[in-house]
Amino acid sequence: MREHPQNETPRGEEPTLEQGTGQHETDVRRRTATVRGIELGRARPEIIVPLVGADEEDLLAQAGSAASTRARIMEWRLDRFRPDLGDTGEHREAVLAVLPALRAQLGPDRALLVTFRTVAEGGARPIADVDLGILLDALISVRRAGTQSPVDLVDIETSRDAGTVARVISAAHRHGTVVVGSFHDMETTPSEAELVKILRAQRRLGADVPKIAVTPRSARDVLTLLSASLTVAEDLSGPHIAISMGPLGASTRVAAETFGSAATFATVGEGSAPGQLRAEDVAEMLELLRP
């Protein structure tokens, strides 16, 4: 179902209301994205903890540790799971097989984000676009009649094949799953104008939560990222995530609320990207730095 806010849409963006089953929704009138009662884009930024266990035992142990923190969204890094399985079909079956146990470990009040990063995107393994689409579609579609989907959010790198991106977004919205549309630059920080352009384009593609993660080479690069985040926040078109990676960009992970970013990533044990801080440290700093 699509609806438009009463006020005029800012800067040519097309707002959407994706309401799926009612369990998840993106409500542009309130300009938030909600999963399991967690409202992205309102009040304190959410903490997302990556789960990077290589096998079921490690994955579930890390999920249990993460669930004991104040973080409410867990990101399952599919590319880090079962590195011993080179065949994409076997890897997909292993992912689907462990999903029920992972969902049970997280409990009903924490949301699950599924993400696959290739090596070029800072991830651990390659995958063809068609295989990525099949994997994410299978995860999005796993649900029994009358039950809530075990997957609450799905990440898709928006620079991948346009058909694959469209397929994942369409499947997610059919099943009431929130889409995080990502862009990663592992080498540099593009200009502010380019970052703003990317975030707005991701929303036009159908991403409920556009995301950019870039690599700073100077303190001014960090300011570039923060300024771009604030500019897009002023569009009032929905939540987004903006991160400057590495030690130089660590301040962006705790200054998210001031500059309009709806979430930040933090670790419990092993992290998934350079510059991530401990989840409990981030929770404390978010409260201390609230504007």
The residues annotated with a catalytic role in the active site are: 184, 211
Amino acid letter, 264: T
Q: Are 236 and 31 in contact (CB under 8 A)?
A: yes
Closest to 249 in 3D by CA, of 270, 228, 280: 228
C-alpha distances in Å from residue 70, one per residue of 73, 78, 186, 223: 9, 23, 29, 28
For residue 146, count other CB atoms closer than 10 A to its CB.
Answer: 6
For residue 263, give the 3-state DSSP assignment. Answer: strand
- How far apart CA 13 and CA 203 sit, in angstroms, is 8
The pairing of beta strand 32-35 with beta strand 38-40? antiparallel
Length of the chain as a residue count: 291
